[in-house]
Structures are given as C-alpha cells and as structure tokens.
C-alpha cells in the first residue's frame, strides 16, 4: 500500500506524486497527474484531519452517481466524497460505498489514508480507457456524477501489478462542453461548509 503521509513528508510533495507509476505513465503517454484518490474510513473525519495540516478546504458531497458500471455490472450505489487541493494537486477523499465494495478492499485496518488511484484529466474518458484496454490494462469501472449542469465522467482501469494503483481518467463538462475543474468554486464551497458547520451537501 502507498500511504498519503509518505508523500506529504517528503522534501518535495509534487515530485513524490509525479514519481508514482512513472514508467507506466511514460510508456502510455499519460498526462500530468491531476488527482490523488485516497481511501478513508470517514470522509468528514479525514477532511478535518487534513485541513488541520493546511490541506484543503474540502468540499464534501454525498449522493448517488447518475451511472455506475462496475466490471460490466450496472449498480445503484450511494456514497460520499471530498475534494480539496494541496500544492496544485487535487485530493479526493473516498469512503466505503453502499452497494459496492470498490472502496473497501484496500482500506487500511489501522485507519491510515491510502492512495488508491491516480487521476488524469482527459478529453474523453472512454477514448483513453479504450486506448489502455488495447494495451492490456482493462477497464474496471465507468461512471458519471452530476451537479446541476456540471457532469464529472470517470473511468477506473485495472490496478497496476507493480504498485496496485488504479489509473483514473476524468472529464469535467458544463452543458456537454468540456471544462477545467472548477477549482475556485470547490474551494469556496468547502469554506462555506466549514463556516456553516454543515460539512456534507447531499446531491
């Protein structure tokens, strides 16, 4: 397992992140790492812990994806996630789901925060998933989240054999048009959640 604290306590956080799965990424022409997907037992508790270290603030939302196709099986799931930033890297907090064990298997029994996936911003998640599938890394999960006119498409690929890390492709869209992640909006919403004391928005 790769623990988030081991990346935090290096001399150069960004350099440590960029070193993850570097040979695989170079071989397949992947873009720069945009996001670290972290497994936690409880998103709100983990957000509070990391915010105390100067990471975030985290925007936390709960609800059900519009679409969740896991290993060819369409599922109705419910979950909670948090999004924040540290030194330019998006940090995603993920806790166990209702309806799937996808975020359960790699949880650390002692409650340490585990790095499960590396997220990459792409023009189209299915195009990149097909590209890696042809090269031998199969698609594990395809999904979509929606908040008003904004959609968040994602695809998870089979874990890499050497590190166990999952490659994730991400595309943000507004009214169907690709956009950059709304970083400032997410930060603002995270601050508002902290100020109001209501840490989770249900969508």
% of the chain at pLDDT higher than 70: 100
pLDDT of the residue at 148: 87
131-177 pLDDT, tens digit per residue, is 999 999 999 999 999 988 999 999 999 999 989 999 999 999 999 99
What is the reported pLDDT for 105?
85
**How many helices and strands, by DSSP H and E, does the chain display?**
6, 13
User: What average pLDDT does the structure give for the chain?
Assistant: 95
Using pLDDT thresholds of 50, 70 and 90, give the confidence band for residue 29: very high
Q: Which of the four pLDDT bands, split at 50, 70 and 90, describes residue 22?
A: very high
Q: Are strands 166-174 and 177-179 parallel, antiparallel or unpaired?
A: antiparallel
Residue 145: what pLDDT?
A: 94
Distance CA 11, CA 22 (A): 18
pLDDT band at 39 (very low <50, low <70, confident <90, very high): very high
Q: Are strands 166-174 and 114-121 parallel, antiparallel or unpaired?
A: parallel
pTM (2 d.p.): 0.95
Helices (H), 92-142: 125-134
Average pLDDT over residues 35-61: 97
Superfamily assignment of 2-202 in CATH?
A: 2,3-Dihydroxybiphenyl 1,2-Dioxygenase, domain 1 (3.10.180.10)
SS3 30: coil
Location of structure tokens 């290096």 = 10
Average pLDDT of the residues in 65-76: 94
Closest CA to 19 of 7, 35, 28, 4: 7
Domain borders along the chain are: 2-202
What pLDDT, in 10s, does the model give residues 90-138?
A: 999 999 999 999 999 889 999 999 999 999 999 999 999 999 999 999 9
pLDDT at 203 > cutoff 90: no
CB neighbour list of residue 110: distance below 8 Å, 6 or more residues apart: none
Q: What is the pLDDT of residue 13?
A: 97
């Amino acid at each position: 397992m790769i623990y988030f604290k081991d990346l935090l306590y290096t001399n150069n956080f960004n350099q440590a992140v960029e070193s993850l799965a570097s040979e695989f990424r170079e071989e397949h022409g992947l873009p720069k790492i945009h996001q670290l997907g972290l497994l936690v037992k409880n998103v709100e508790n983990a957000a509070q812990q990391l915010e105390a270290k100067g990471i975030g603030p985290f925007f936390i939302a709960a609800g059900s994806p519009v679409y969740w196709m896991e290993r060819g099986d369409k599922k109705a799931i419910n979950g909670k996630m948090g999004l924040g930033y540290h030194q330019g890297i998006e940090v995603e907090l993920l806790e166990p789901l209702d309806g799937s064990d996808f975020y359960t298997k790699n949880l650390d029994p002692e409650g340490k925060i585990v790095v499960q996936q590396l997220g990459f911003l792409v023009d189209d998640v299915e195009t990149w998933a097909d590209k890696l599938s042809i090269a031998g890394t199969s698609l594990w999960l395809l999904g979509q989240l929606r908040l008003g006119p904004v959609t968040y498409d994602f695809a998870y690929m089979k874990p890499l054999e050497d590190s166990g890390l999952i490659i994730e492709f991400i595309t943000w869209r507004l009214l169907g048009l690709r956009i950059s992640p709304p970083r400032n909006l997410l930060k603002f919403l995270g601050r508002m959640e902290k100020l109001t004391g209501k840490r989770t928005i249900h969508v």
